[in-house]
Every structure is written in structure tokens, then in C-alpha cells.
Structure 1
Amino acid sequence: MMGTPQAKGRGGAQYASLAEINVTPLVDVMLVLLIIFMLTAPFIAGGVEVNLPHTRTTAKASVEGLVITVDKQRRVFIDEDQIQLAQLKEILAEIRPAGDARPVYLRSDQEVPYGFVVRVMGTVKEAGIAGLSLVVDPDDEVE
């Protein structure tokens, strides 16, 4: 690409190069990617299907962390991987070493007996995790 002529001593005119980068295609691609991510983000939050209990007051929490799920059949999952309750303590010790500050969430179907949920909570505490948060479905009409 030719630039503007500039006087250069005795030899005549030399051309200075124009160092411009056209960012319009980059912006176009980024906007398309943004739209794609915005459309697909709601589908990513899948996971194990549970019917969460309802409550009137909840604290908003980020989903980034470790999620333990108990479904209606009392099956235990870490994220989306099914495990046995007897293995939970050892697996938590492996994937969440001491000093790891990531939050741990417990999602349980509302049909699961309270005693089983307490057993899961006790196992999590035995693994050295003190900060366990329960996930509920915010609703104005509590049964």
C-alpha cells in the first residue's frame, strides 16, 4: 500500500507506509460470537434434573463451584457424575484439597427424606468442607 510522499534528502520522494489495521471484520466476528454465546448460555446450565424445594427468601449465589446433587431416587452426583454415598468423602478430598476456597452447593430433590440429606451433609463436613450451601428454588408461594 502506498503512503504519502515525503521529502527525503537528495534522492527524491520516499513513501511512508500507512500502518492501519481494519478492525471492522474483527468487530463483526466478535458480535456474532457474542450473540451465539448469549443464545446458548441458558442451555448450558443443565445437569441432573431435581425438583428443588421452594423458599421465600434466598441469597443470590454464583454457580461457580462444586455442585453435589441428590435426586429423587437418592442417587448422589458430583456435578453430573454419579457416585456412591460411601465414596463421597474420598472423592471430595481428592477434587477439593484443603485450602480450596471454591464454594460447595448441595441440590436435593424435595421428595428426598430429610434424614438422607443430613447424611450427605455430614459426609461433606467429614471431608473437611465447612461452608456448604443449600440450593433452593425461589418462589413466593411456599407449600
Structure 2
Amino acid sequence: MALRLEEDEGELSEINVTPFIDVILVLLIVFMVAAPLSTVDVPVNLPGSSAPAGTRPEEPLWLTVTAERALMLGEAAVAPDDLAAALDARTGGKRDTPVFLRADRTVDYAALMQVLDRLRQAGYLKVALVGLEGAP
């Protein structure tokens, strides 16, 4: 017994691209709407934090920026150029040690960014910013 294939049971050689084009157009519209939302530049006046206090290590490494823009590592004054060496001496070269950064309220943003840059250049990337607990 031989099987016979009828002529109209052949494979369909044409692809229907209409649903594909519909999906592409919908994705295009979604990306056109979402793209400007991700690049919004909004001026911000950051409020104080009322977040609960996190856990603190037994001997935290405090880096303080005073109102006079002086750096204090623990209780000792440190020159900005000597910060990396002082941190290495204090941590034994362990660069994954968290540094708790405190700054006086009058310290401007540029001065704080300079300190953060010095920490990054020294290889200390785990930096915790310290604030007052229960600030409004």
C-alpha cells in the first residue's frame, strides 16, 4: 500500500509578517515613551533620614570632615594627601573595610565629593554616610 499525497496538502512557503510588524510597532512606541522618562534631570533638596540605625561593627573606622574642611581619621587629624596611607595603616591594607563618613552640616557638596574621590582613589569603596538618627 502506497500513500498518496494530494497536491493541496503541501507546505506553506509564505511567512505572514503582519503580526511581527505589529509587535515591533508596539515596542517602538513603548521605547519612545519610556526613553525620555529615564533621563529626567530634577533639582533635589534632599531631606534628613528617618531610617532605623543599621548594625555597626565593634570598632568602626570613622572619617570625619569638620566644619573647617579638615579630615579626622578616628581622633587623629589627617592631611588630605596622606589619607590613603593613613587608611592603609589603620586597616592593615584591607580595602574592603567599611569607612563611616561623617560631615559637618556646613560642609558643601563639592568638599564631600572630594573626600569620596580620595577614598575611591585609595581603593576604599565601602563607604557609609552617617547622619543623625530620627532627623525629620
Structure 1 and Structure 2 fold alike (TM over 0.5):
yes
Percent of residue pairs bearing the same amino acid type: 25
Aligned pair partner of 2:70 in 45, 70, 75:
75
Greater percentage in helix: 2
Residue 132 of structure 1, CA deviation: 0.6
Q: TM-score, normalized by length of structure 2?
A: 0.57
- Provide structure 2 residue ranges, at least 5 long, that are not aligned to the other structure: 1-46
SS in 2 for 1:57: coil
Aligned pair partner of 1:55 in 49, 59, 71:
49
Greater percentage in strand: 1
Q: Select the structure of larger CA radius of gyration.
A: 2
Distance 1:58 1:91, change over 3 A: same
SS in 1 for 2:81: helix
**How many corresponding residue pairs?**
89
SS in 2 for 1:138: coil
Distance 1:137 1:126, change over 3 A: same
- Provide structure 1 residue ranges, at least 5 long, that are not aligned to the other structure: 1-52
C-alpha contact 1:66 1:105 (8 A) present in aligned 2: yes
Q: Give distance in 1, aligned partners of 2:108 and 2:135.
A: 23
Over residues 2-51 of structure 1, what are the superposed CA-to-partner deviations in whole Å (9 max), with x where a residue is unaligned? xxxxxxxxxxxxxxxxxxxxxxxxxxxxxxxxxxxxxxxxxxxxxxxxxx
Structure 1's consecutive aligned runs of 4 or more residues displaced over 3 angstroms after TM superposition are 97-102
C-alpha contact 1:65 1:102 (8 A) present in aligned 2: no
Aligned to 2:126: 131
Q: Give distance in 1, aligned partners of 2:135 and 2:78.
A: 34
Q: TM-score, normalized by length of structure 1?
A: 0.55
Superposition CA RMSD, Å: 2.1
Q: Which amino acid aligns with 2:134?
A: D
C-alpha contact 2:101 2:128 (8 A) present in aligned 1: yes
